[in-house]
Structure 1
Amino acid sequence: MEHYLDIIQKLKEEFPIGTVQFTGSKRPYIPNQVYTDRLESATESKWNKVIKELDINVTHRYVKAIVTITIGEHSRDGYGVAIIKGDPEQDPSGVINAVDLAMNSAFIEALDSFQMGWRDLAPHKTSEKEWGSNPALSHLLSTEPPNGSTPTNPRALTSHICLVCSKPLIQADWELLNHVPNLRRDKMIYCFNDIPAHHKRKIPEFEISNYLLRIK
Protein backbone atom coordinates (compact mmCIF):
# COMPACT_ATOMS: atom_id res chain seq x y z
CA MET A 1 0.00 0.00 0.00
CA GLU A 2 1.15 3.54 -0.74
CA HIS A 3 2.01 6.02 2.00
CA TYR A 4 -1.16 6.95 3.90
CA LEU A 5 -0.89 10.67 3.08
CA ASP A 6 -0.55 9.88 -0.63
CA ILE A 7 -3.71 7.77 -0.48
CA ILE A 8 -5.63 10.53 1.30
CA GLN A 9 -4.50 13.03 -1.32
CA LYS A 10 -5.88 10.75 -4.05
CA LEU A 11 -9.17 10.38 -2.18
CA LYS A 12 -9.51 14.19 -2.02
CA GLU A 13 -8.90 14.70 -5.74
CA GLU A 14 -11.69 16.23 -7.80
CA PHE A 15 -13.94 13.85 -9.72
CA PRO A 16 -14.61 14.25 -13.47
CA ILE A 17 -17.12 16.89 -14.57
CA GLY A 18 -20.64 15.48 -14.45
CA THR A 19 -20.02 13.22 -11.45
CA VAL A 20 -22.29 15.22 -9.14
CA GLN A 21 -25.94 14.27 -9.57
CA PHE A 22 -29.14 15.73 -8.11
CA THR A 23 -32.14 14.28 -6.32
CA GLY A 24 -35.71 15.22 -7.20
CA SER A 25 -35.47 17.98 -4.62
CA LYS A 26 -32.29 19.31 -6.31
CA ARG A 27 -30.01 18.09 -3.53
CA PRO A 28 -26.49 17.40 -4.92
CA TYR A 29 -24.87 14.04 -4.25
CA ILE A 30 -22.17 11.71 -5.51
CA PRO A 31 -23.26 8.09 -6.14
CA ASN A 32 -22.05 5.42 -3.75
CA GLN A 33 -20.45 3.49 -6.62
CA VAL A 34 -18.24 6.47 -7.50
CA TYR A 35 -16.90 6.66 -3.95
CA THR A 36 -16.25 2.90 -3.93
CA ASP A 37 -14.38 3.05 -7.25
CA ARG A 38 -12.14 5.88 -6.00
CA LEU A 39 -11.50 4.04 -2.74
CA GLU A 40 -10.57 0.85 -4.59
CA SER A 41 -8.25 2.72 -6.94
CA ALA A 42 -6.52 4.90 -4.34
CA THR A 43 -5.87 2.06 -1.89
CA GLU A 44 -5.24 -0.67 -4.48
CA SER A 45 -8.18 -2.55 -2.90
CA LYS A 46 -6.46 -2.54 0.51
CA TRP A 47 -9.30 -1.15 2.60
CA ASN A 48 -11.90 -2.69 4.84
CA LYS A 49 -15.53 -2.04 5.74
CA VAL A 50 -17.06 -3.31 8.98
CA ILE A 51 -20.69 -3.02 10.05
CA LYS A 52 -20.14 -1.78 13.59
CA GLU A 53 -23.83 -1.52 14.43
CA LEU A 54 -27.12 -2.26 12.67
CA ASP A 55 -30.29 -1.44 14.59
CA ILE A 56 -33.54 -2.42 12.83
CA ASN A 57 -36.37 -0.93 14.88
CA VAL A 58 -39.59 -2.15 13.28
CA THR A 59 -41.76 -0.78 16.10
CA HIS A 60 -40.61 2.79 15.55
CA ARG A 61 -40.02 2.28 11.82
CA TYR A 62 -36.34 3.19 11.47
CA VAL A 63 -32.96 1.61 10.78
CA LYS A 64 -29.69 2.94 12.20
CA ALA A 65 -26.31 1.82 10.90
CA ILE A 66 -22.71 2.53 11.92
CA VAL A 67 -20.03 1.57 9.42
CA THR A 68 -16.26 1.64 9.98
CA ILE A 69 -13.91 2.20 7.03
CA THR A 70 -10.28 1.23 7.62
CA ILE A 71 -7.31 2.21 5.46
CA GLY A 72 -4.07 0.80 6.79
CA GLU A 73 -4.08 1.57 10.51
CA HIS A 74 -6.57 4.42 10.21
CA SER A 75 -10.31 4.04 10.74
CA ARG A 76 -13.31 6.35 10.41
CA ASP A 77 -16.91 5.75 11.48
CA GLY A 78 -19.98 6.82 9.55
CA TYR A 79 -23.58 6.97 10.78
CA GLY A 80 -26.74 6.49 8.75
CA VAL A 81 -30.47 6.47 9.55
CA ALA A 82 -33.39 5.57 7.28
CA ILE A 83 -37.16 5.41 7.73
CA ILE A 84 -38.95 2.10 7.12
CA LYS A 85 -41.73 2.94 4.69
CA GLY A 86 -45.01 1.06 4.45
CA ASP A 87 -46.13 -1.82 6.67
CA PRO A 88 -43.23 -4.24 7.31
CA GLU A 89 -45.64 -7.08 8.06
CA GLN A 90 -47.34 -6.68 4.69
CA ASP A 91 -44.25 -5.79 2.67
CA PRO A 92 -40.83 -6.76 4.17
CA SER A 93 -39.06 -5.05 1.26
CA GLY A 94 -39.54 -1.77 3.12
CA VAL A 95 -37.15 -3.02 5.80
CA ILE A 96 -34.62 -4.19 3.21
CA ASN A 97 -34.71 -0.83 1.43
CA ALA A 98 -34.27 1.05 4.71
CA VAL A 99 -31.27 -1.11 5.63
CA ASP A 100 -29.67 -0.39 2.24
CA LEU A 101 -30.27 3.35 2.62
CA ALA A 102 -28.92 3.49 6.18
CA MET A 103 -25.84 1.46 5.24
CA ASN A 104 -25.13 3.60 2.18
CA SER A 105 -25.52 6.81 4.20
CA ALA A 106 -23.15 5.51 6.87
CA PHE A 107 -20.60 4.45 4.24
CA ILE A 108 -20.65 7.85 2.54
CA GLU A 109 -20.43 9.72 5.86
CA ALA A 110 -17.35 7.71 6.81
CA LEU A 111 -15.71 8.59 3.49
CA ASP A 112 -16.80 12.21 3.91
CA SER A 113 -14.49 12.44 6.93
CA PHE A 114 -11.61 11.81 4.48
CA GLN A 115 -12.89 14.89 2.55
CA MET A 116 -13.83 12.82 -0.49
CA GLY A 117 -15.98 14.79 -2.91
CA TRP A 118 -15.69 18.07 -1.01
CA ARG A 119 -14.24 19.94 -3.99
CA ASP A 120 -17.04 18.64 -6.22
CA LEU A 121 -19.92 19.38 -3.85
CA ALA A 122 -18.70 22.75 -2.51
CA PRO A 123 -19.84 24.77 -5.59
CA HIS A 124 -23.38 23.42 -5.01
CA LYS A 125 -23.34 24.33 -1.31
CA THR A 126 -22.66 28.06 -1.46
CA SER A 127 -26.02 29.48 -0.38
CA GLU A 128 -26.24 31.19 3.00
CA LYS A 129 -25.69 28.87 5.99
CA GLU A 130 -24.44 25.98 3.82
CA TRP A 131 -20.93 24.68 4.45
CA GLY A 132 -19.62 25.61 0.99
CA SER A 133 -20.14 29.30 1.78
CA ASN A 134 -17.86 29.18 4.82
CA PRO A 135 -14.77 31.37 4.21
CA ALA A 136 -12.55 28.73 5.82
CA LEU A 137 -13.44 26.39 2.94
CA SER A 138 -13.15 28.91 0.12
CA HIS A 139 -10.07 27.08 -1.19
CA LEU A 140 -12.41 24.28 -2.29
CA LEU A 141 -13.96 26.66 -4.82
CA SER A 142 -10.59 27.48 -6.37
CA THR A 143 -9.95 26.23 -9.88
CA GLU A 144 -6.26 25.89 -9.05
CA PRO A 145 -5.17 22.38 -8.06
CA PRO A 146 -4.10 22.02 -4.41
CA ASN A 147 -0.58 21.04 -5.46
CA GLY A 148 -0.16 24.40 -7.13
CA SER A 149 -0.80 26.39 -3.98
CA THR A 150 1.87 27.96 -1.82
CA PRO A 151 2.79 25.88 1.23
CA THR A 152 1.45 27.33 4.46
CA ASN A 153 3.65 28.00 7.48
CA PRO A 154 2.37 25.53 10.12
CA ARG A 155 3.19 28.07 12.87
CA ALA A 156 1.36 30.95 11.20
CA LEU A 157 -1.41 32.39 13.37
CA THR A 158 -4.98 31.99 12.13
CA SER A 159 -8.14 33.95 12.88
CA HIS A 160 -9.60 30.97 14.77
CA ILE A 161 -9.72 31.40 18.55
CA CYS A 162 -9.45 28.51 21.02
CA LEU A 163 -12.59 28.05 23.12
CA VAL A 164 -10.50 27.25 26.21
CA CYS A 165 -7.48 29.56 26.29
CA SER A 166 -8.89 32.27 23.97
CA LYS A 167 -5.64 32.37 21.98
CA PRO A 168 -5.47 32.15 18.17
CA LEU A 169 -4.73 28.74 16.71
CA ILE A 170 -1.64 28.24 14.59
CA GLN A 171 -2.22 26.78 11.13
CA ALA A 172 -1.09 23.30 12.22
CA ASP A 173 -3.65 23.34 15.08
CA TRP A 174 -6.45 24.26 12.69
CA GLU A 175 -5.51 21.54 10.20
CA LEU A 176 -5.22 18.91 12.94
CA LEU A 177 -8.85 19.47 13.96
CA ASN A 178 -9.78 18.08 10.53
CA HIS A 179 -8.65 14.68 11.76
CA VAL A 180 -11.02 14.53 14.72
CA PRO A 181 -13.93 12.35 13.52
CA ASN A 182 -17.33 14.11 13.53
CA LEU A 183 -15.95 17.31 15.09
CA ARG A 184 -17.73 20.49 13.99
CA ARG A 185 -14.60 22.52 13.30
CA ASP A 186 -16.63 25.68 12.75
CA LYS A 187 -17.90 25.52 16.35
CA MET A 188 -15.55 23.28 18.37
CA ILE A 189 -12.28 25.17 18.02
CA TYR A 190 -9.31 24.08 20.14
CA CYS A 191 -5.56 24.54 20.06
CA PHE A 192 -3.59 21.30 20.37
CA ASN A 193 -3.06 21.58 24.14
CA ASP A 194 -6.75 22.19 24.81
CA ILE A 195 -8.34 19.52 22.61
CA PRO A 196 -10.54 17.50 25.03
CA ALA A 197 -9.02 14.11 25.82
CA HIS A 198 -11.98 12.16 24.40
CA HIS A 199 -11.53 13.96 21.07
CA LYS A 200 -7.73 13.74 21.05
CA ARG A 201 -7.87 9.96 21.49
CA LYS A 202 -9.74 9.71 18.18
CA ILE A 203 -6.98 11.43 16.19
CA PRO A 204 -4.84 8.85 14.33
CA GLU A 205 -1.41 8.49 15.93
CA PHE A 206 0.24 9.25 12.60
CA GLU A 207 -1.52 12.62 12.44
CA ILE A 208 -0.35 13.49 15.97
CA SER A 209 3.23 12.57 15.07
CA ASN A 210 3.02 14.56 11.85
CA TYR A 211 1.69 17.57 13.76
CA LEU A 212 4.53 17.45 16.30
CA LEU A 213 7.12 17.21 13.53
CA ARG A 214 5.63 20.21 11.70
CA ILE A 215 5.75 22.54 14.69
CA LYS A 216 9.31 21.70 15.77
Structure 2
Amino acid sequence: MEPFDYAKAVALIKAPFPSGTVQKRGDNGRAYIPNQVYTDRVEAATGSQWSREIKEVEINIPHGFVKVVARVTIGEHYRDGIGFSEIETDQNGKRKSVSNKVDQAFAEAVREALDTWQIGWKDLAPFYKETKDWGSNPALRYLLESAPGCGSYDPGLQSRGMVAHNCIFSGCGKQLSRDEWDFLGLIPSLNREKMVYCFLHIPSHIKKKAPADVIAKYEDRINRHQS
Protein backbone atom coordinates (compact mmCIF):
# COMPACT_ATOMS: atom_id res chain seq x y z
CA MET A 1 0.00 0.00 0.00
CA GLU A 2 1.39 3.40 -1.00
CA PRO A 3 2.07 5.97 1.76
CA PHE A 4 -0.70 8.48 2.24
CA ASP A 5 -0.01 11.67 0.25
CA TYR A 6 -1.60 14.45 2.29
CA ALA A 7 -0.74 17.24 -0.16
CA LYS A 8 -2.25 15.32 -3.07
CA ALA A 9 -5.39 14.56 -1.07
CA VAL A 10 -5.88 18.23 -0.14
CA ALA A 11 -5.38 19.29 -3.76
CA LEU A 12 -8.12 16.85 -4.80
CA ILE A 13 -10.38 18.09 -2.01
CA LYS A 14 -9.97 21.74 -3.12
CA ALA A 15 -10.50 20.97 -6.82
CA PRO A 16 -13.64 22.36 -8.52
CA PHE A 17 -16.75 20.19 -8.54
CA PRO A 18 -18.60 19.24 -11.74
CA SER A 19 -20.93 21.82 -13.26
CA GLY A 20 -24.32 21.82 -11.58
CA THR A 21 -23.05 20.79 -8.14
CA VAL A 22 -23.95 24.10 -6.53
CA GLN A 23 -27.59 24.30 -5.50
CA LYS A 24 -29.84 27.20 -4.46
CA ARG A 25 -31.88 27.12 -1.27
CA GLY A 26 -35.61 27.46 -1.64
CA ASP A 27 -36.05 29.76 1.35
CA ASN A 28 -33.41 32.43 0.76
CA GLY A 29 -31.85 31.63 -2.62
CA ARG A 30 -28.36 31.22 -1.12
CA ALA A 31 -25.94 28.96 -2.98
CA TYR A 32 -24.71 25.82 -1.25
CA ILE A 33 -23.20 22.40 -1.87
CA PRO A 34 -24.96 19.41 -0.26
CA ASN A 35 -23.16 17.75 2.64
CA GLN A 36 -23.16 14.37 0.90
CA VAL A 37 -21.17 15.85 -1.97
CA TYR A 38 -18.52 17.04 0.48
CA THR A 39 -18.21 13.69 2.24
CA ASP A 40 -18.09 11.80 -1.06
CA ARG A 41 -15.30 14.08 -2.27
CA VAL A 42 -13.23 13.64 0.90
CA GLU A 43 -13.80 9.88 0.86
CA ALA A 44 -12.54 9.63 -2.72
CA ALA A 45 -9.68 12.11 -2.30
CA THR A 46 -8.28 10.42 0.79
CA GLY A 47 -8.91 6.81 -0.14
CA SER A 48 -11.03 6.50 3.02
CA GLN A 49 -8.13 7.68 5.18
CA TRP A 50 -10.15 10.25 7.07
CA SER A 51 -12.49 10.28 10.05
CA ARG A 52 -14.99 12.50 11.83
CA GLU A 53 -15.95 12.42 15.48
CA ILE A 54 -17.85 14.38 18.09
CA LYS A 55 -15.54 16.03 20.60
CA GLU A 56 -18.08 18.03 22.58
CA VAL A 57 -21.87 18.31 22.87
CA GLU A 58 -23.79 21.03 24.68
CA ILE A 59 -27.58 20.89 24.93
CA ASN A 60 -28.65 24.26 26.28
CA ILE A 61 -32.36 24.08 27.01
CA PRO A 62 -32.70 27.55 28.64
CA HIS A 63 -31.18 29.29 25.59
CA GLY A 64 -32.68 26.88 23.07
CA PHE A 65 -29.70 25.52 21.17
CA VAL A 66 -27.51 22.47 20.67
CA LYS A 67 -23.79 22.98 20.10
CA VAL A 68 -21.46 20.30 18.76
CA VAL A 69 -17.71 20.42 18.31
CA ALA A 70 -16.60 17.93 15.65
CA ARG A 71 -13.12 16.87 14.66
CA VAL A 72 -12.26 15.85 11.10
CA THR A 73 -8.96 14.03 10.65
CA ILE A 74 -7.26 13.55 7.29
CA GLY A 75 -4.13 11.47 7.45
CA GLU A 76 -2.23 12.84 10.45
CA HIS A 77 -3.85 16.27 10.35
CA TYR A 78 -7.08 17.34 12.00
CA ARG A 79 -9.36 20.38 12.10
CA ASP A 80 -12.21 21.17 14.49
CA GLY A 81 -15.52 22.74 13.57
CA ILE A 82 -18.45 24.07 15.59
CA GLY A 83 -22.07 23.50 14.67
CA PHE A 84 -25.27 24.83 16.19
CA SER A 85 -28.88 23.80 15.90
CA GLU A 86 -31.80 25.72 17.32
CA ILE A 87 -34.20 23.85 19.61
CA GLU A 88 -37.65 24.74 18.37
CA THR A 89 -40.68 25.42 20.55
CA ASP A 90 -44.30 24.39 20.10
CA GLN A 91 -47.29 26.73 20.18
CA ASN A 92 -47.26 26.62 23.98
CA GLY A 93 -43.64 27.66 24.20
CA LYS A 94 -42.38 24.21 25.21
CA ARG A 95 -39.17 22.84 23.73
CA LYS A 96 -39.62 20.18 21.07
CA SER A 97 -37.60 16.98 20.94
CA VAL A 98 -33.85 17.46 20.58
CA SER A 99 -33.22 13.92 19.34
CA ASN A 100 -32.25 15.01 15.82
CA LYS A 101 -30.74 18.37 16.75
CA VAL A 102 -27.41 16.83 17.71
CA ASP A 103 -27.20 15.20 14.27
CA GLN A 104 -27.95 18.52 12.58
CA ALA A 105 -25.36 20.36 14.65
CA PHE A 106 -22.81 17.59 14.03
CA ALA A 107 -23.33 17.80 10.26
CA GLU A 108 -22.80 21.57 10.39
CA ALA A 109 -19.68 21.17 12.54
CA VAL A 110 -18.19 18.65 10.10
CA ARG A 111 -18.94 21.01 7.21
CA GLU A 112 -17.24 23.87 9.06
CA ALA A 113 -14.16 21.74 9.73
CA LEU A 114 -13.97 20.67 6.08
CA ASP A 115 -14.34 24.30 5.05
CA THR A 116 -10.90 25.03 6.49
CA TRP A 117 -9.48 22.86 3.69
CA GLN A 118 -11.25 25.19 1.20
CA ILE A 119 -13.57 22.49 -0.10
CA GLY A 120 -16.07 23.96 -2.54
CA TRP A 121 -14.60 27.47 -2.36
CA LYS A 122 -13.85 27.66 -6.07
CA ASP A 123 -17.43 26.70 -6.90
CA LEU A 124 -19.19 28.94 -4.39
CA ALA A 125 -17.07 32.09 -4.80
CA PRO A 126 -18.82 33.24 -8.01
CA PHE A 127 -22.14 33.26 -6.14
CA TYR A 128 -20.80 35.46 -3.35
CA LYS A 129 -19.22 38.38 -5.18
CA GLU A 130 -21.43 41.14 -3.78
CA THR A 131 -19.71 43.66 -1.52
CA LYS A 132 -21.28 42.08 1.57
CA ASP A 133 -20.08 38.56 0.73
CA TRP A 134 -16.82 36.71 1.42
CA GLY A 135 -16.20 36.06 -2.27
CA SER A 136 -15.68 39.77 -2.88
CA ASN A 137 -12.49 39.89 -0.82
CA PRO A 138 -9.56 40.79 -3.13
CA ALA A 139 -7.37 38.27 -1.32
CA LEU A 140 -9.55 35.52 -2.78
CA ARG A 141 -9.05 36.62 -6.37
CA TYR A 142 -7.55 33.27 -7.32
CA LEU A 143 -10.86 31.58 -6.49
CA LEU A 144 -12.84 33.79 -8.81
CA GLU A 145 -10.33 33.51 -11.64
CA SER A 146 -10.17 29.72 -11.53
CA ALA A 147 -13.77 28.94 -10.65
CA PRO A 148 -15.94 27.63 -13.50
CA GLY A 149 -18.22 30.20 -15.08
CA CYS A 150 -17.06 32.95 -12.80
CA GLY A 151 -16.55 35.63 -15.42
CA SER A 152 -14.09 38.47 -14.97
CA TYR A 153 -12.88 39.71 -11.61
CA ASP A 154 -14.05 43.14 -10.55
CA PRO A 155 -11.40 44.90 -8.41
CA GLY A 156 -14.09 47.25 -7.16
CA LEU A 157 -15.78 44.48 -5.21
CA GLN A 158 -14.28 44.95 -1.76
CA SER A 159 -15.55 44.10 1.68
CA ARG A 160 -16.47 47.44 3.21
CA GLY A 161 -17.59 47.73 6.83
CA MET A 162 -17.39 43.97 7.36
CA VAL A 163 -15.90 41.83 10.12
CA ALA A 164 -14.09 38.50 9.96
CA HIS A 165 -17.06 36.49 11.22
CA ASN A 166 -19.67 34.52 9.30
CA CYS A 167 -23.20 33.59 10.27
CA ILE A 168 -23.39 30.07 11.74
CA PHE A 169 -27.02 29.58 10.72
CA SER A 170 -27.25 26.43 8.59
CA GLY A 171 -27.10 27.32 4.91
CA CYS A 172 -26.26 30.99 5.44
CA GLY A 173 -22.58 31.64 6.07
CA LYS A 174 -23.00 35.36 5.34
CA GLN A 175 -20.13 37.60 6.42
CA LEU A 176 -21.36 39.93 9.15
CA SER A 177 -21.39 43.67 8.78
CA ARG A 178 -19.92 45.83 11.51
CA ASP A 179 -23.46 46.80 12.54
CA GLU A 180 -24.53 43.18 12.89
CA TRP A 181 -21.43 42.34 14.93
CA ASP A 182 -21.98 45.33 17.21
CA PHE A 183 -25.62 44.33 17.70
CA LEU A 184 -24.63 40.85 18.91
CA GLY A 185 -22.46 42.54 21.52
CA LEU A 186 -25.53 44.28 22.94
CA ILE A 187 -27.43 41.07 23.66
CA PRO A 188 -27.05 40.16 27.34
CA SER A 189 -25.12 36.94 28.12
CA LEU A 190 -24.49 36.18 24.45
CA ASN A 191 -21.03 34.88 23.55
CA ARG A 192 -20.74 36.38 20.10
CA GLU A 193 -17.48 34.55 19.44
CA LYS A 194 -19.51 31.32 19.31
CA MET A 195 -23.10 32.38 18.68
CA VAL A 196 -22.41 34.29 15.48
CA TYR A 197 -25.57 35.20 13.57
CA CYS A 198 -26.36 37.74 10.90
CA PHE A 199 -29.24 39.99 11.91
CA LEU A 200 -31.74 38.03 9.80
CA HIS A 201 -30.92 34.69 11.45
CA ILE A 202 -30.60 35.67 15.11
CA PRO A 203 -33.10 33.34 16.84
CA SER A 204 -36.11 35.36 17.96
CA HIS A 205 -35.78 34.26 21.59
CA ILE A 206 -32.23 35.61 21.61
CA LYS A 207 -32.88 38.80 19.64
CA LYS A 208 -35.72 39.88 21.93
CA LYS A 209 -33.28 40.05 24.86
CA ALA A 210 -31.93 43.28 23.39
CA PRO A 211 -33.84 46.50 24.22
CA ALA A 212 -36.73 47.14 21.80
CA ASP A 213 -35.45 50.58 20.83
CA VAL A 214 -32.01 49.13 20.06
CA ILE A 215 -33.57 46.44 17.86
CA ALA A 216 -35.55 49.07 15.96
CA LYS A 217 -32.47 51.24 15.50
CA TYR A 218 -30.37 48.40 14.12
CA GLU A 219 -33.16 47.16 11.88
CA ASP A 220 -33.35 50.61 10.31
CA ARG A 221 -29.57 50.92 9.99
CA ILE A 222 -29.08 47.47 8.46
CA ASN A 223 -31.99 47.94 6.07
CA ARG A 224 -30.49 51.22 4.86
CA HIS A 225 -27.10 49.58 4.31
CA GLN A 226 -28.63 46.72 2.34
CA SER A 227 -30.80 48.97 0.15
Contact map agreement 2:87 2:96 (CA 8 A) in 1: no
Structure 1: stretches of 5+ with no match in the other structure: 146-216
Report the counterpart of residue 15 of structure 1 in structure 2. Answer: 17
Shift of residue 136 of structure 1? Answer: 1.1
- Could you tell me which amino acid in structure 1 is paired with residue 28 of structure 2? S
Report the counterpart of residue 165 of structure 2 in structure 1. Answer: none
Structure 1 segment 104-183 matched on structure 2, within 5 A: 104-143=107-146
Shift of residue 144 of structure 1? Answer: 7.4
Distance 2:94 2:86 in 1: 15
Report the counterpart of residue 104 of structure 2 in structure 1. Answer: 101
Distance 2:31 2:67 in 1: 23
Contact map agreement 2:4 2:75 (CA 8 A) in 1: no
Report the counterpart of residue 204 of structure 1 in structure 2. Answer: none
Contact map agreement 2:14 2:118 (CA 8 A) in 1: yes
Shift of residue 75 of structure 1? Answer: 0.4
Report the counterpart of residue 171 of structure 2 in structure 1. Answer: none
Shift of residue 80 of structure 1? Answer: 0.8
Match of 1:68 among 66, 71, 84: 71
- Could you tell me which amino acid in structure 2 is paired with residue 62 of structure 1? F
Distance 1:25 1:144 in 2: 23
- Could you tell me which amino acid in structure 2 is paired with residue 4 of structure 1? Y
Distance 2:95 2:77 in 1: 43
Report the counterpart of residue 186 of structure 2 in structure 1. Answer: none
Report the counterpart of residue 175 of structure 2 in structure 1. Answer: none
Please, what is the CA RMSD of the aligned residues? 1.9
Q: Does 1:27 align with 2:62?
A: no
Report the counterpart of residue 6 of structure 1 in structure 2. Answer: 8
Distance 1:141 1:16 in 2: 16
Report the counterpart of residue 39 of structure 1 in structure 2. Answer: 42
- Could you tell me which amino acid in structure 2 is paired with residue 10 of structure 1? L
- Could you tell me which amino acid in structure 1 is paired with residue 109 of structure 2? A
Distance 2:119 2:147 in 1: 17
- 1:20-39 residue CA offsets vs partner (Å, 9 max, x unmatched): 11222011111110001001
Distance 1:144 1:47 in 2: 26
Structure 2: stretches of 5+ with no match in the other structure: 149-227
- 1:138-181 residue CA offsets vs partner (Å, 9 max, x unmatched): 11112479xxxxxxxxxxxxxxxxxxxxxxxxxxxxxxxxxxxx
What is the TM-score when the length of structure 1 is the normalising length? 0.62
Contact map agreement 2:126 2:147 (CA 8 A) in 1: no
What is the TM-score when the length of structure 2 is the normalising length? 0.59
